Structures are given as C-alpha cells and as structure tokens.
C-alpha cells in the first residue's frame, strides 16, 4: 500500500539522518505518537497537513497527486491549457507574428515558450507563459527567468528577431480561483511580475519599455462554457466591438490587439494573423 511506502520512506530518511521519532516530533511541533502513526503506514488516519509537518524536518517534499480515468485526466488538463492558448492568440492582432510551443536549447538552458509573439514595427518580443491555474511559484518563476534571459538571444540568432523591448507575461484565465492565488502570493509576484492586466494590454497595443506582468484573460472558452451552461450563449462585448465592462468585479471585455485575428498558428511556426 502507498501508505506503508510513505511511512517506510519517512522512517528510512529519519534513520539516515540519525534522528529519533521524538526529535523529529519536536522539530515538527507534533507528538511522537503522530510520527509513529505515519511511519507504521497509518497515513489514512493523518491529515495532509500533519504528514507535511512530519516530512519537513527531514527535507522530504510531499506532493498530492490526483488520478482519474488513467490518461484521460492528462488529456482534460491539456485541453483546458489549449483553450487558454487559443483565446490568447485570438487577442493578438495582425501586427504580431505568433509561434506556439517554441522550443529552445541554449548551453544547457532548455525549455519551451507557450506563445511567442514578435512585432516587427516596434521590434517588440512577447513571451507568454500560459497556466490554466496557478498552484505555486516554483514551477512558474524560475522557468520564466530562464526564458526572459535566454529566448531573446536565441530568436535574435535564429530568426533575426532582435528585440528592443521584451514583454514577459504570465497568462491566467480570469477566474476567482486564480485571482485569489495571485493575491495570496502577492508579495512575491508584485516584485517578479508587477504589471497587471490593464498595463499588459496597453503594452501590447503600443510596446514601449520592457514589461513583466500577469494577464487575467477574460472570456476564455472554459469561462464562457461555465457562464453559459444550459443556455444558447450570448455574444461577448469584445465580439460586438463594444468596450464596456462586463458584469462582475474585475472583469473587462478583452479587445484584439492590432485588429481581427485569424486561425491559430501551427506549433513552432511563425504566423501572422492576417
């Protein structure tokens, strides 16, 4: 059983570090009985918070993994991510050449950019990291820093996109869960990605100095589906060309930047939406 393996891992690491159950308990701020309970494989009787408390002094990271219908869960998650990417591309006008899933490898720094956009007239490069939900900082900030440092150098060499201005943008669906996550992580994100939706959109309309920020993307397909479940749907204000505010705090109609966009570009291929 997984509970027995978890308990065995805790016990083996504790012994490797030369600690007693009582010493681990003291460092974790729990009872010795709680440590013993988990080590014996009775994790079902312990809360996730308690398990993390016991694991922390040993340097063990506890991850909660959800499984559902085998690979179908991965396909569901990938589908939601793809919907946000599609909605993002639809906001970028014909002045932006777009590459989806741009891969790079530069002296050991490797990765991929969800959406890379280039505006030749202003020599502006936009690097978009798309997340369907924000669950933590470690998987976001470090990769973004690598991309901000490496990607402008690589595209300058490979595509002659010599950027004078670079935008680094984390794109999230405009949902309450994501706004709460950003608010909770505010002190860190306010330094790493200080700009927010309005400033990011203004930069896309008229790129100037470099910008780092978060774009809460309104009217994504998943958000429309949730809002219009059981109804025939309604035309969004962005499609009607009306820039009035949506109902609900913090949500505004999303314009296209530079004109009407076309079909989504192929992966890895620069495409203008003309």
Q: Which H/E stretch holds residue 103?
A: strand 97-106
- Per the CB < 8 A criterion, the answer to whether 254 and 90 are in contact is no
Residues 177-218 have pLDDT tens digits of: 999 999 988 889 999 999 999 999 999 999 999 999 999 998
Residues 25-37 have pLDDT tens digits of: 999 999 999 999 8
pLDDT value at residue 266: 43
Question: Which CATH number is 2-58 given?
Answer: 1.10.260.40
Categorize the per-residue pLDDT at 240 as very low, low, confident or very high, splitting at 50, 70 and 90.
Answer: very low
Cβ neighbours around 159 below 10 Å, total: 14
Q: Which H/E stretch holds residue 127?
A: strand 124-130
Domain coordinates in residue numbering, the chain: 2-58, 72-272
Angle between helical axes of 2-16 and 48-55 (0-180°, round to 10): 20
Left, alpha or beta for 38 (phi > 0: left; psi -120 to 50: alpha)?
alpha
Rg (CA), the chain: 23
pLDDT value at residue 7: 86
Using DSSP bridges, classify how beta strands 165-173 and 124-130 pair: parallel, antiparallel or unpaired: parallel
pLDDT value at residue 58: 94
Query: pTM of this prediction?
Result: 0.61
Categorize the per-residue pLDDT at 237 as very low, low, confident or very high, splitting at 50, 70 and 90.
Answer: very low
Report the chain's mean pLDDT, rounded to a whole number: 80
Tell me the CA distances in angstroms from 255 to 119, 157, 209, 245, 263, one per residue in order.
17, 32, 21, 12, 16
Cross-strand partners of 117:
98, 126
Residues 85-103 have pLDDT tens digits of: 999 999 998 999 999 999 9
* Residues shown for the chain: 274
Cross-strand partners of 216:
172
Report the alpha-carbon angle 56-57-61, nearest 5.
30
As a 3-state breakdown, the chain gives helix, strand, coil percent values, each rounded to 5, of 45, 20, 35
Residues 36-90 have pLDDT tens digits of: 989 988 767 788 889 999 999 999 988 777 777 766 666 666 788 889 999 999 9
Q: Identify the residue whose tokens are 């900082």.
A: 137
Categorize the per-residue pLDDT at 254 as very low, low, confident or very high, splitting at 50, 70 and 90.
Answer: low
């Amino acid at each position: 059983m997984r509970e027995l393996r978890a308990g065995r891992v805790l016990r083996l690491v504790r012994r490797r570090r030369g600690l007693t159950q009582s010493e681990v308990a003291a460092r974790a701020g729990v009872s010795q009985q709680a440590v013993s309970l988990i080590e014996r494989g009775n994790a079902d009787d312990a809360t996730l918070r308690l398990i993390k408390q016991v694991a922390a002094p040993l340097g063990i990271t506890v991850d909660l993994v959800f499984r559902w219908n085998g690979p179908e869960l991965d396909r569901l998650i990938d589908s939601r991510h793809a919907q946000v990417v599609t909605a993002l591309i639809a906001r970028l006008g014909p002045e932006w050449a777009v590459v989806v899933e741009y891969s790079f490898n530069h002296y050991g720094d490797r990765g991929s950019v969800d959406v890379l956009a280039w505006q030749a007239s202003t020599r502006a490069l936009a690097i978009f990291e798309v997340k369907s939900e924000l669950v933590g900082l470690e998987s976001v900030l470090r990769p973004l820093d690598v991309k901000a440092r490496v990607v402008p150098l690589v595209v300058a060499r490979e595509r002659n996109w010599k950027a004078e201005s670079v935008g680094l943008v984390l794109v999230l669906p405009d949902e309450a869960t994501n706004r709460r996550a950003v608010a909770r992580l505010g002190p860190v994100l306010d330094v790493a990605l200080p700009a927010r939706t309005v400033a990011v959109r203004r930069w896309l309309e008229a790129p100037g100095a470099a910008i780092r920020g978060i774009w809460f993307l309104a009217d994504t397909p998943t958000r429309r589906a949730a809002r219009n479940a059981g109804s025939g749907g309604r035309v969004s204000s962005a499609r009607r060309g009306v820039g009035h505010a949506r109902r609900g705090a913090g949500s505004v109609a999303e314009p296209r930047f530079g004109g009407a966009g076309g079909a989504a570009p192929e992966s890895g291929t620069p495409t203008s939406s003309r």
